[in-house]
Amino acid sequence: MLWYILAVAALLPWIQLMINGRLGLKRVPRLENLPEPDAVELQTLGRLSVVVAARNEEQHLEKALRSLAAQEHPDCEIIVVNDRSTDRTGEILDRLAAENPERIKPLHITELPEGWLGKCNALHQGGEAATGNYILFADADVEFAPGVLLRSHAYAKREEADQFTAFPETVADTFFEHAMLNVFALSFMLGFPPHRAMIRNSGKYVGVGAFNMVSTQIYRRIQGHKFLRLQVVDDVGLGKLIKFSGGKIRLAWGMGQIKVRWQEDLWATIKGLEKNFFASTNYSVTKTLAMCVGVLILFVWPWIGIWFGPTGARAVSGVALALQILVAAVAAVKARFSPIHGLTAQAGALLLLIAMLRSMIITLKRGGITWRDSFYPIKDLKQFRL
């Protein structure tokens, strides 16, 4: 009986992922296909505020800001919050602001208020300073293709969206980075199916730090990032607040239009998830271990189950494996990776598992997280669980 349970447990999520993927591709538009606003829309579009939080981003900031400053939007302010940087971030920001005084508005923070995460405080301060009818929250290492802001702002306003999120293209260099990121994306799709987030009463929500555009009206109504001030996964948290405040959600695929280099290499990617994974389960050991077991069953078991147990169970595992290869390959192609990653899901899953367990163990050992040179105890982080 156990063989059948494991086989079915591995199969059903892949069926769901296949359905989610098909519906997601059908119902979620591509950012590059969103129409340009016509003359009437341009007259009533209004201002767009872009808020970028930057701490020690000297390596990426200039390229990201130049891609924003070059956007064709007729009325766009770019508020860049320099959050206590100790490198050349502030210097680069001031130089670019001097070159683009009509667009780039620097905001330098020198102290972190008690009870706030640095990034959340920076986003909140930037959001408070925003004067547009929509605010785009973006990371300091994101590059935007020409026309992205204009099309996105017009689409959000046309749809009367309270939140418009676009999934970026994640740039990675190595084979196993691609394998791990592909598995991460599939896991995300299973937990946060995009097409369902757009249904008002679905209870599903989403948020992406690279591109989170929200209406200023609802952002003021939920009091900015006040209730997210100790939320490590602030982008998803913002999406949750907006969804459960009755907000209307719209999404788009941003591959080729929005690009982000997540980390510099595989090990940096694993380390970079240190603060996120345990936080995503609200620092629950039980939930984290259950998630790890789920990853093993979903991605690894089909490769084992085809060799062991009764014939029927092996057949079910075989179907699960075939679906895994198909769905993972399609996901890899959509992410602009190689289709060969249809065969690397188990390897990517094991790397993801290492990141998950490492996040839990290190956070428990330290009694909290260290993020951008600041330490935050678990007991404080748990105060603002959503």
Give residue-wise pLDDT tens across range 125-155: 999 999 999 999 999 999 999 999 999 999 9
Nearest C-alpha neighbor of 258 from the set 139, 137, 136, 143: 143
What is the band of 273 on the pLDDT scale with cuts at 50, 70, 90? confident
pLDDT at 386: 61
256 in Cβ contact with 169 (< 8 Å): yes
Which one has a higher pLDDT value, 86 or 200? 86
Mean pLDDT along residues 6-19: 94
User: 188, 189, 187, 192: which is closest to 295 by C-alpha?
Assistant: 187
pLDDT in tens, 340-352: 999 999 999 999 9
Alpha helices in 202-251 (DSSP H): 216-221, 234-243
Residues 6+ apart with CB under 8 A from 38: none
CA-CA distance, 316 to 10, in Å (whole number)?
9
Buried b (16+ CB within 10 A) or exposed e, 345-362: bbbbbbbbbebbebbbee
Whole-structure pTM value: 0.93
The count of residues in the chain is: 386
Q: Are strands 169-171 and 368-371 parallel, antiparallel or unpaired?
A: unpaired
The residue-averaged pLDDT of 13-37 equals: 91
Instruction: Identify which of 115, 112, 113 has the alpha carbon closest to the alpha carbon of residue 380.
Output: 115
Residue 203: C-alpha distances to residues 89, 165, 191, 207, 242 (Å): 39, 17, 12, 14, 11
Question: 46-94: per-residue pLDDT in tens?
Answer: 999 999 999 999 999 999 999 999 999 999 999 999 999 999 999 999 9
Q: Which amino acid is at 380?
A: D
DSSP secondary structure letters along 148-194: HHHHHHHHHHHTT-SEEEEEPEEE--SHHHHHHHHHHHHHHHHHS-H
Average pLDDT, the chain: 93
Q: How many CB atoms lie within 10 A of CB 101?
A: 8
Tell me, what amino acid is at 224?
G
Pairwise CA distance, residues 3 & 313, whole Å? 6
